[in-house]
């Protein structure tokens, strides 16, 4: 009855991690609501998601395969999704907390006069309603909200829901015939940065550096450890403002909010605005020479010491352990 | 080129959050309120549009009496008009706020309508795109660069690991990201000039919206402080090699990240 529809994004021929996470919690919700788990994907390779979506529990994949949906456009995808929702009639629509997911959710919800629980860290179906928990005030409080609309929308915070396969077969593909609409905001160019670095919003492991690094060149110490661990490089705002590293790496209230499995903070004092961006990480290690540093209050393992000697030693140990 | 900037007033980013007796809202007593940090980038962008292309900069806020103060601050920085829609937001959701803002925007000249990419506090990132949909305008979220053209704007949108260049016709809704500009401070002259500008005050009913129109779809049932995180183990006074070995053990055995 109460179906759950998950909006899926495909990148390099695979489902994005945020979509895999949304499908996984979607499967649990479908279990609670007694409805089916459905997926929807857009663009010429939309139906290629059937295999992966099926493994994650989606029985049906709506494919809006129109050529013009190759790149994301708010106006086009909103229209295509509205048409899919009209056909699929879900009680819940979930989106991953990606840039596009967060662009799309409020737009489609307003079109359908529906509510969105944004950036949620837990979800359940209770008393015929979607109930969500979400951090507010930059993690200084948690709100439990209920969405009183059908469908009810939610965007899932990256890394909050583990992606778990259920071992199902490929989803049944249902093609949606959609007519393009007028586009007023057009994508002219997409620029990927020079570096092939892993982005902090998607990483399982983040190694972050702060002003304790003293100068820009010393970010190499952070980079070496991140590379050895297969993680991403994060940064405090002080280092971004100093021009040591690009803003894309900033963790915190005015940077990115991250929740990786492992967060290592070196030479970061732990200002409230920094904690807002990382305190929901599952495991936190802090290295700081000041025993009173606020970062130790959220650290699972705190090491009082000099990052310039400890980190290089750690990088060597990690390399040895991996060899 | 006329701009409208939607301003939300939020608790200071360092404020200690306490929960009100209702268990569903924060206790506002003793809290200092500020203009939401991302809205400052939005305002600065609008002031620069006016400097380049002329036109009005209208600041718009929906909220209780105290938001008049935030509007005054924006006027002092260079906004030319201010609209205060008075109302209590505590039982409203993003969509209701968006309906009020959309109705108020219809009444003022507008080509570029700016928002913060996120209201610091609600942490939603919902209101801007909802207003865009209600008005039927295009939207670009998380904007880091804005260039006005003839009857259009070219903007940069930040996404994961990339940047998009997007061209949009007007009117358009943009949400501002850090990096878009460096907001200016108010000058003494600006503060004096701002005192002479009247704030246009109205109610949602004046905009033709009934209580029914504003019924929240998303309702807060409880608000709680996060579980007090007990700092974990702390090691001190060990030599670097021993410290590194202990961190490695933690990464392997507890975080299971290796
Ligand atoms: C509205 C607003 C938004 C903000 N948003 C953000 C945000 O998104 N992200 C963010 O990070 N900040 C943000 N800030 C800034 C924040 O308040 C802090 O100023 C900033 O996080 C400090 O960065 P830091 O920890 O690198 O530097 P510092 O506070 O200077 O800390 C440096 C630390 O390095 C340690 N150290 C020095 N040398 C060594 C050594 N050899 N070995 C080990 N440790 C050493 C010191 O003991 C110190 O604790 C914001 C501020 C405001 C007002
Ligand atoms: N009550 C309000 N009045 C005016 N603008 C608002 C209001 N609430 C939110 N906004 C705008 O919407 C943006 C996003 O807010 P939010 O969706 O709550 O994260 C803010 O940065 C403001 O620009």
- The ipTM estimated for the assembled molecules is 0.91
Indicate whether B1 pLDDT > 70: yes
Three-class HEC string of A170-212: CCEEEECCCCCCCCCEEEEEEECCCCCCCCHHHCCEEEEECHH
Using the beta-carbon criterion (under 8 Å), do A199 and B161 form an inter-chain contact?
Answer: yes
Shortest distance, CA B149 to any CA of chain A (angstroms): 14
pLDDT in tens, B195-219: 999 999 999 999 999 999 999 999 9
pLDDT at A192: 79
Phi, psi of A256 (to 5 degrees): -105, 145
What is the Cα–Cα distance from A5 to A290, expressed in whole angstroms? 49
Nearest to B218 among A108, A111, A147 (CB): A147
Residue in B with minimal Cα distance to A271 = B14
Query: Ligand 2: which of B116, B127, B128, B133 to mutate, judged by most atoms within 8 Å of the beta carbon?
Result: B127
Shortest distance, CA A33 to any CA of chain B (angstroms): 19
Mean pLDDT confidence for B70-83: 97
Indicate whether B57 pLDDT > 60: yes
What is the Cα–Cα distance from B66 to B50, expressed in whole angstroms? 27
Burial A165-204 (b: 16+ CB within 10 A, else e): eeeeebbebeebebeeeebbbeeeeeeeeeeebbbbbbbb
Phi, psi of A95 (to 5 degrees): -130, 150
Structure tokens at B62: 């929906």
Mean pLDDT confidence for A5-28: 96
Structure tokens at B50: 């006016």
Residue in A with minimal Cα distance to B176 = A254
Using the beta-carbon criterion (under 8 Å), do A191 and B162 form an inter-chain contact?
Answer: yes
Indicate whether B81 pLDDT > 90: yes
pTM of the entire predicted model: 0.91
pLDDT at A194: 55
Confidence band for A183, pLDDT divided at 50, 70 and 90:
very high
Confidence band for A317, pLDDT divided at 50, 70 and 90:
very high
Looking at ligand 1, which residue's alpha carbon is closest to its atom 48? Answer: A269
Mean pLDDT confidence for A134-157: 95
Q: How far apart are the first and last CA of chain B?
A: 55
Instruction: Among A55-59, A277-281, B54-58, name the one with the lowest average pLDDT.
Output: A277-281
What is the Cα–Cα distance from A25 to A229, expressed in whole angstroms? 28
Structure tokens at A132: 């969500």
Average pLDDT taken over every residue of chain A: 95
Indicate whether A201 pLDDT > 90: no
Q: Does a cis peptide bond (omega within 30 degrees of 0) precede residue A101? A: no
pLDDT at A197: 67
What is the Cα–Cα distance from A120 to A139, expressed in whole angstroms? 12
Structure tokens at A118: 């944004």
pLDDT in tens, B215-254: 999 999 999 998 877 778 999 988 999 999 999 999 999 9
Mean pLDDT confidence for A135-148: 94
Nearest to A148 among B16, B219, B229 (CB): B219
- Please report, rounded to a whole number, the percentage of residues in chain A having pLDDT higher than 90: 88
pLDDT at A195: 58
What is the Cα–Cα distance from A93 to A114, expressed in whole angstroms? 11
Structure tokens at B92: 């409203």
Burial A7-27 (b: 16+ CB within 10 A, else e): bbbbeeeebbbbbbbbbbbbb
Ligand 2 atom closest to residue B85's alpha carbon, by position in its atom list: 3
Confidence band for B89, pLDDT divided at 50, 70 and 90:
very high
A323 touches chain B (CB under 8 A): no
Q: Does a cis peptide bond (omega within 30 degrees of 0) precede residue A151? A: yes
Residues of A (1-40) whose Cβ lies below 8 Å from B: none
């Amino acid at each position: 009855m109460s179906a759950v529809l998950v909006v899926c994004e495909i990148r390099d021929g695979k489902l994005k991690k945020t979509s895999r996470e949304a499908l996984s919690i979607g499967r649990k919700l479908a279990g609670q609501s007694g409805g089916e788990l459905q997926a929807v994907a857009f663009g010429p390779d939309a139906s290629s998601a059937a295999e992966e979506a099926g493994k994650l529990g989606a029985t049906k994949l709506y494919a809006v395969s129109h050529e013009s949906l190759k790149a994301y456009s708010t106006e086009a995808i909103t229209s295509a999704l509205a048409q899919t929702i009209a056909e699929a009639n879900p009680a819940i629509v979930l989106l991953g907390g990606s840039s596009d997911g967060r662009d799309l959710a409020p737009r489609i919800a307003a079109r359908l006069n529906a509510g969105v629980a944004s950036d949620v860290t837990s979800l359940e179906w209770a008393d015929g309603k979607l109930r969500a928990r979400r951090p507010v005030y930059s993690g200084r409080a948690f709100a439990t909200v209920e969405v009183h609309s059908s469908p009810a929308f939610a965007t899932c915070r990256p890394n909050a829901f583990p992606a778990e396969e259920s071992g199902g077969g490929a989803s049944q593909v249902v093609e949606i015939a959609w007519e393009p609409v007028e586009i007023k905001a057009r994508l002219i160019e997409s620029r990927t940065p020079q570096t092939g670095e892993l982005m902090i919003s998607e990483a399982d492991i983040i190694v972050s550096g702060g002003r304790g690094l003293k100068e820009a060149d010393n970010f190499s110490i952070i980079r070496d450890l991140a590379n050895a661990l297969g993680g991403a490089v994060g940064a405090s705002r002080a280092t971004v403002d100093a021009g040591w590293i690009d803003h894309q790496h900033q963790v915190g209230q005015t940077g990115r909010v991250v929740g990786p499995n492992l967060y290592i903070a070196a030479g970061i004092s732990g200002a409230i605005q920094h904690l807002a961006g990382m305190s929901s990480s599952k495991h936190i290690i802090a290295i700081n020479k000041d025993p009173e540093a606020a970062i130790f209050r959220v650290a699972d393992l705190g090491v009082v010491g000099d990052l310039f000697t400890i980190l290089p030693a750690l990088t060597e140990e990690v390399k040895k352990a991996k060899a | 080129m006329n701009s409208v900037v939607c301003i939300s007033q939020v608790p200071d980013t360092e404020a200690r959050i306490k929960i009100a007796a209702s268990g569903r809202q924060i206790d506002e007593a003793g809290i200092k309120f500020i203009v939401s940090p991302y809205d400052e980038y939005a305002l600065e962008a609008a002031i620069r549009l006016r400097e380049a292309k002329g036109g009005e900069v209208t600041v718009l806020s929906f909220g209780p009496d105290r938001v008049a103060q935030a509007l005054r601050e924006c006027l002092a920085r260079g906004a030319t008009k201010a609209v205060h829609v008075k109302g209590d937001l505590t039982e409203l959701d993003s969509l209701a706020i968006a309906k009020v803002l959309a109705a108020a925007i219809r009444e003022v000249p507008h080509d570029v309508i700016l928002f913060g990419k996120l209201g610091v506090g609600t942490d939603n990132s919902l209101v801007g795109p909802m207003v865009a949909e209600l008005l039927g305008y295009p939207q670009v979220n998380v904007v880091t660069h804005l260039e006005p053209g003839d009857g259009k704007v070219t903007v940069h949108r930040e996404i994961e690991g990339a940047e998009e260049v997007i061209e949009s016709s007007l009117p358009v809704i943009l949400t501002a990201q850090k990096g878009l500009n460096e907001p200016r401070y108010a000058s003494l002259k600006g503060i004096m000039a701002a005192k002479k500008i009247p704030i246009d005050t109205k109610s949602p009913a004046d905009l033709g919206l009934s209580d029914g129109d504003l019924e929240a779809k998303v309702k807060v049932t409880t608000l709680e402080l996060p579980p007090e995180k007990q700092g974990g183990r702390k090691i001190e006074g060990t030599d670097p090699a021993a410290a590194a070995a202990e961190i490695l053990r933690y990464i392997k055995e507890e975080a299971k990240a290796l």
